[in-house]
Structure 1
Amino acid sequence: MKRKINLLPFAIITILFFLLNSYVLSGIHTLSSNPIITPLFWTFIFVVTAALIYSIVRMRDNGMDLFFKIATHVFLVLFVSELIFILVLLPGDAYHLLLGKPRNIYWVEFALALFIFSILIFVYGIIRGKYAYRIIKHTLFFDDLPENFDGFTITQISDVHAGSFQSPRSVQKGINLIKAQKSDLFVFTGDLVNNKAEEITPWIGHFSQIKAPYGQFSVLGNHDYGDYIKWESEALKRANLQQLKTYHAELGFRLLLDEHVELYKHGEKIILAGVENWGLGFGERGDLQKALTGVDPNDFKVLLSHDPTHWDSEVKKLPSKVHLTLSGHTHGMQFGIEAFGIKWSPVKYRYAHWAGIASENGRFLNINRGFGFLGFSGRVGIWPEITVIELKKTRN
């Protein structure tokens, strides 16, 4: 017996969407009074809305197939672009209303230009932006870094989400950039797949090319546990996780599961620890105390922990100082602005720290913006990231 689907949320969203579009149409009519515009406009809006609702209803039986992806992406691009149009048009209308003047046609043209620009940049994000890898470099200074690790480099990627990839050539471009950094250490901070271990199999040949003199290490992210799809049995879910761990080994990654390793250079060492996923609202599996068992509190420590809320909640408060934590998870929401001194993404309203470096009491956190993408098959303003961190000893 199929579960009944509550259509009330869809009805509310549809009503709000049509009210929003009524205002958009009023702006268009300011520029043209052609009678054909209204029926064409509403026909298009009806088709987009109906396709979205139908794709959601059928998702239970068909999953997130091609039709679902097209319908949701068209709706998302249209909705966000119209929202930008309204946010620009509304203040102008309010201003002219207070002055008792008619709507300014030039202001409407400006809003329409931003609407068109928004659509174009979203299309770019879907076609090219999701593979527009960039290298972000940070140099971090520490008083107690072992002398022989001065200048030690770490390349970090996170959130591969292999099940979302479609272009082997584009992915290889990212792999080549990773290899070109020639870092001492490579780390991957979780979410290798979206849901199932098999998603990584077409890409093993790509990611297994990554090598570093001090090794390649990884941890699990919230998506790696298979929590977001329905399994026929718990045994299959456990088998999927075990298979994913095997694939980490095939990639040449040493998976750290609440444990640590010692990295030696000319007789001195640093600690590299890794925990299972620990994140507020995403499963608090990781055991930091277990990962650091046997570690001298005075040792220099680097921690791999997928979710940055772990740093805020536990890591930065730990009596045994963890010098550097490497995380991912947020993706920067794959949408935002990082230009002209502006750093903004809607994800900031969920995470205090959502990208780049944060620090407190000499303890650093780096949040990688993600190598892959999930949900929205694109990136706008928040591009896929390969992080290179250089550790430096503070000189007096």
Structure 2
Amino acid sequence: MNLLGATIFLLAILLFSTFLNWYVFQAVKTLSQGISTEKYRNAVHIGYWLVFGGISVWYIYTFVKISITGEFTLSTQTLLNVFLTVVVTQLVCIIFLFAEDIFRNIQAGVLYLSNGSENFVFPSRKTWVSIVAVSVAMIPFFGFVYGMAFGKHNFKVHKETIYFEDLPEAFDGFTITQISDIHIGSFKNPNHVQKGIDLAMEQGSDLFVFTGDLVNHRADEIDPFIEQFSKIKAAYGQFSIIGNHDYGDYIPWPSKEAKEENFKSFLKQHERLGFQLLRNENVRIEKDGQHLVLLGVENWGVGFGARGDLEKAMEGTSSDEFKILLSHDPSHWDEEVKRQKNTVHLTLSGHTHGMQFGIETPIIRWSPVQYRYPNWAGLTSFNGRYLYVNRGFGFHAFSGRVGIWPEITVIELRRK
């Protein structure tokens, strides 16, 4: 980002934050009217602006630091946690205040037309509305607190059974455990990591696959956790692919050679993990004299680079073979995979994390990420070809998960 762009961005953050602080302050003023002593009322008002004005200054300072270093540290991650928590909480509060303002303006218009300008007084805010606004806003506030403390390691197993007419008979009932987006550099507690590993191993699947973003930026992030992840074993092997974060593209390097050495080290880490890395290639999984083809491509995603080469990965395969593709970004399925003449029966992806924030219930399923990715979590299909998007094992940038929990996927293949 150039200097002008960075300046405009920082000003936008400052104005946005100031607007939110001012609007929520209207509820604070209304509620503080119940304090009989003016001195204490003023103390509440000053305290509010010291706290939230200070947070706004912190925003600017940290965003400047990020723009200079280009890297997320523990302090910048903490800032992002606070930023998201405060902004979402304030926006929920403002929804009620804004609705009241619409009503107050309508009411004021009616009073003015009825009584004229003499003795006209603009309707004041209702205390009960401010109470409701603040009370409801506490729901996302405590949701974010829970997500940062516990939600980010609240692992869930999602199971799907998918039926195919042309699945080889030997693979009827074959199971695959998938994890994605470990982002191991975000983890600080090995026990939290082990909780997810144990859950993956408990599934006892025939095949294990990992669909990219092992690290945030640097290959050595995985070093303290090699022994833990290397214990994941499956009867028909462990396979992995590369995600967009694994290339080290998002931080500055002292030289081109340093970045290349980091990537070479990253490739070697997969050997230490016991994962066979598929780089635009395929392997045949044999069982009882029959086989299916497992394809793996490098990262291919709209807006995230197109290093993946599906045609190369499919070399040597035929249209009548049953194929499973590992491709990190689900936009690859939308843009290229699902219309391939050489049918790819099932694609396993990750990447979206479900934005680590949203609502998933039997009635409501929503996350902000859906406005970027139409297929952002779970199973979808097109003309008998399936895509499953894993919600991610880890977390990145925002150090938490709210409503979209870390996932272990188990896919069972069945023959129709």
Indicate the residue corresponding to 2:62 in structure 1: 55
Indicate the residue corresponding to 1:98 in structure 2: 106
Q: Partners in 2 of 1:13 and 1:130 — Cα distance?
A: 27
Q: Partners in 1 of 2:49 and 2:289 — Cα distance?
A: 72
Q: Which amino acid aligns with 2:145?
A: V
**8 Å contact 2:72–2:397 — kept in the other structure?**
no
Deviation at 1:388, TM superposition (A): 0.3
Cα deviation code 1:143-187 (max 9, x no counterpart): 111111111000000000111001111110111000100000000
SS in 1 for 2:42: coil
Distance verdict in 2 for CA 1:5–1:259, change over 3 Å: closer
Deviation at 1:236, TM superposition (A): 1.8
Deviation at 1:63, TM superposition (A): 4.2
Indicate the residue corresponding to 2:22 in structure 1: 22
Q: Partners in 1 of 2:350 and 2:231 — Cα distance?
A: 22
**8 Å contact 1:52–1:68 — kept in the other structure?**
no
Residue 273 of structure 1 pairs with residue 295 of structure 2: yes
Indicate the residue corresponding to 1:39 in structure 2: 46
Indicate the residue corresponding to 1:111 in structure 2: 133
Q: What's the TM-score once normalised by structure 2's chain length?
A: 0.91
Q: Partners in 2 of 1:115 and 1:3 — Cα distance?
A: 36
Deviation at 1:29, TM superposition (A): 1.8
Residue 311 of structure 1 pairs with residue 333 of structure 2: yes
* Match for residue 349 of structure 1 among 371, 383, 386: 371
**8 Å contact 2:70–2:251 — kept in the other structure?**
no
Q: Which amino acid aligns with 1:232?
A: P
**8 Å contact 2:28–2:45 — kept in the other structure?**
no
- 53-62 or 146-155, which moves further after superposition? 53-62
Deviation at 1:80, TM superposition (A): 1.2
Indicate the residue corresponding to 1:339 in structure 2: 361
SS in 2 for 1:35: helix
Paired residues in the alignment total: 393
Indicate the residue corresponding to 1:67 in structure 2: 75
Q: Which amino acid aligns with 2:190?
A: P
**8 Å contact 1:332–1:369 — kept in the other structure?**
yes
Cα deviation code 1:96-138 (max 9, x no counterpart): 4424564333232121112222211101111111111000000
What aligned pairs does 1:177-326 form with structure 2 within 5 A after superposition?
177-326=199-348
SS in 2 for 1:138: strand
Deviation at 1:3, TM superposition (A): 7.5
Deviation at 1:225, TM superposition (A): 0.7
**8 Å contact 2:70–2:252 — kept in the other structure?**
no
Q: Partners in 1 of 2:195 and 2:251 — Cα distance?
A: 31
Q: Partners in 2 of 1:175 and 1:103 — Cα distance?
A: 53
Q: Partners in 2 of 1:62 and 1:149 — Cα distance?
A: 47
Q: Partners in 1 of 2:219 and 2:169 — Cα distance?
A: 41
Deviation at 1:35, TM superposition (A): 2.3
Indicate the residue corresponding to 2:38 in structure 1: none
Deviation at 1:4, TM superposition (A): 8.9
RMSD of the alignment, in Å?
1.7
**8 Å contact 1:5–1:57 — kept in the other structure?**
no
State the percentage of identical aligned residues: 50
Q: Partners in 1 of 2:10 and 2:355 — Cα distance?
A: 24
Q: Partners in 2 of 1:211 and 1:104 — Cα distance?
A: 62
**Structure 1 gap ranges (5+):** none
Residue 8 of structure 1 pairs with residue 16 of structure 2: no
**8 Å contact 2:24–2:94 — kept in the other structure?**
yes
Q: Which amino acid aligns with 1:378?
A: G
